[in-house]
């Protein structure tokens, strides 16, 4: 039987649970990681930062307090690592949200300077704090104390969370629903942890953060399950889900494009260029190696001619023999009837 100081047992328990959760997410993320996907790489960095934070939270519980072993410098160093890991994780969250919903790296690169400013300020403040104690400090008894600037430090850090929510909300307003991703699932455990940290003597933030990352990982897993790895479009599993969403009235298809793809050809360039020309309010499903469909929900006026021209141009440019045809929803047709008539679910 091991005896741990009863005053720290709660912190050890909660931080151990968080470290276990984050360890699990990290291993699963490493196991699942696919090379070449920038969003996946950013998510991996985010998970590593959260794992480091959780481990630092666990370790520091053993070194805090007058009776604990270890020097003051060690406690300050671990606390600095903990604070920095939270900041870096939130920075990566913003990048991840950006890459997930926008799929536009050029815009992100343009905004990068602006996003880096708070991170640089926080890193500089953390380093300065080691020597000055202007944000937080440990007294001679190795007891933690916060200064007034800590609130400002936290607000700057949460700026990333606010920006991530803003990006998501703006995308949703402009493009309707963002499937398989909802930042609210991330926000709720973080808020829960922050409130617990205020009202209880135990740091609940780390556990809240770990739970948020577990839920985010699950959302990503669900998305991966419906994604065709080669093209990046949806796979055939998504068709049933799409049918249910159309029946529920969430989507109203107006136009269907059917592609007949050539066999044994490298189509990665075609898929990449197709993504660029298709409107935002649409879903593309790769049914099998030679068949693919795009369901368009928004306004289709003038779209058919424009898309026909673009697809033809891409085919010629890539020297691919891609055939395609259109089906337009008639006025007297219901969305469900239109979809079921033209798409065979499950095959």
Partner 1 sequence: MFYLTNRDYATLIMDTGTILMILGVIILLFRQGEKGRPDLNSFLMLLILTIVMAAGDMLGYLSDQKMFPHSRMLATLGMTVFYAGFLLVAVSWLHYCRVRFKHEGLSGRTRFAFEYLPGMIGTALVLINIFTGWIFHYDETVTYHRGVLFIPMYVAFAIFLLAGFLCLARCRDHSRGGILIPLCICALTMIFGISFTFLVSNSASFAPIGIAMCFVFTHMGIMNEV
Nearer to partner 1, 8 or 49 (CB): 8
Inter-residue contact 208 to 169 (CB < 8 Å)? no
Nearest-approach distance from CB 289 to partner 1, in angstroms: 19
Nearer to partner 1, 23 or 133 (CB): 23
Nearer to partner 1, 81 or 219 (CB): 219
The binding site for partner 1 (CB under 8 A) comprises 1-4, 6-14, 16-17, 20-21, 23-24, 27-28, 31, 185, 188-189, 192, 196, 200-202, 204, 207-208, 211, 214-215, 217-219, 221-222, 224-225, 240-241, 244-245
Nearest-approach distance from CB 211 to partner 1, in angstroms: 5
SS3 (DSSP) at 136: strand
Nearer to partner 1, 102 or 245 (CB): 245
Is the C-alpha dihedral spanning 90, 95, 100, 101 positive or negative? Answer: positive
The rounded distance, in Å, linking the Cα atoms of 279 and 223 is: 20
Nearer to partner 1, 146 or 244 (CB): 244
Nearest-approach distance from CB 221 to partner 1, in angstroms: 5
Nearest-approach distance from CB 16 to partner 1, in angstroms: 7
The rounded distance, in Å, linking the Cα atoms of 213 and 56 is: 17
SS3 (DSSP) at 63: helix
Inter-residue contact 212 to 189 (CB < 8 Å)? yes
The four Cα atoms 123, 124, 127, 131 give a dihedral, to 10 degrees, of -150
Q: How far apart are the first and last CA of the chain?
A: 59
Nearer to partner 1, 8 or 267 (CB): 8
Supply the DSSP symbol for 267. Answer: -
The rounded distance, in Å, linking the Cα atoms of 209 and 26 is: 14
Nearest-approach distance from CB 266 to partner 1, in angstroms: 25
Nearest-approach distance from CB 210 to partner 1, in angstroms: 8
Query: Phi-psi category of 116—alpha, beta or left, where left has phi over 0 and alpha has psi -120 to 50?
Result: alpha
SS3 (DSSP) at 342: helix
The rounded distance, in Å, linking the Cα atoms of 43 and 63 is: 30
Nearer to partner 1, 127 or 218 (CB): 218
Nearest-approach distance from CB 33 to partner 1, in angstroms: 13
């Amino acid at each position: 039987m091991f005896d741990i100081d009863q005053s720290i047992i709660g912190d050890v328990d909660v931080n151990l649970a968080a470290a276990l959760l984050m360890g699990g997410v990290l291993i699963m993320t490493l196991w699942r990681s696919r090379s070449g996907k920038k969003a996946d790489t950013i998510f991996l960095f985010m998970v590593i930062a959260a794992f480091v934070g959780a481990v630092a939270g666990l370790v520091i519980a053993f070194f805090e307090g007058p009776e604990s072993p270890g020097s003051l410098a060690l406690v300050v160093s671990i606390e600095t690592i903990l604070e920095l890991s939270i900041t870096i994780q939130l920075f990566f969250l913003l990048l991840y949200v950006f890459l997930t919903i926008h799929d536009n790296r050029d815009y992100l690169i343009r905004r990068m300077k602006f996003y880096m400013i708070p991170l640089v300020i926080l890193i500089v403040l953390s380093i300065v704090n080691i020597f000055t104690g202007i944000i937080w400090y440990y007294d001679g008894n190795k007891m933690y104390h916060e200064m007034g600037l800590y609130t400002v430090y936290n607000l700057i850090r949460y700026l990333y969370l606010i920006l991530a929510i803003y990006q998501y909300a703006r995308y949703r307003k402009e493009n309707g629903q963002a499937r398989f991703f909802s930042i609210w699932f991330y926000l709720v455990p973080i808020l829960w942890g922050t409130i617990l940290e205020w009202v209880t003597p135990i740091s609940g933030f780390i556990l809240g953060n770990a739970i948020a990352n577990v839920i985010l990982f699950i959302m990503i897993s669900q998305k991966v399950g419906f994604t065709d790895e080669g093209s990046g479009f949806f796979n055939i599993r998504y068709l049933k889900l799409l049918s249910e969403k159309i029946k529920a009235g969430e989507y109203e298809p107006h136009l269907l494009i059917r592609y007949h793809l050539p066999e044994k050809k490298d189509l990665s360039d075609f898929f990449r260029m197709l993504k660029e020309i298709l409107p935002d309010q649409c879903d593309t499903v790769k049914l099998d190696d030679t068949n693919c469909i795009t369901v368009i929900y928004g306004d289709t006026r003038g779209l058919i001619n424009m898309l026909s021209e673009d697809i033809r141009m891409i085919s010629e440019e890539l020297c691919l023999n891609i055939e395609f045809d259109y089906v337009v929803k008639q006025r007297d047709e219901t969305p469900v009837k239109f979809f079921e008539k033209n798409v065979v679910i499950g095959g």
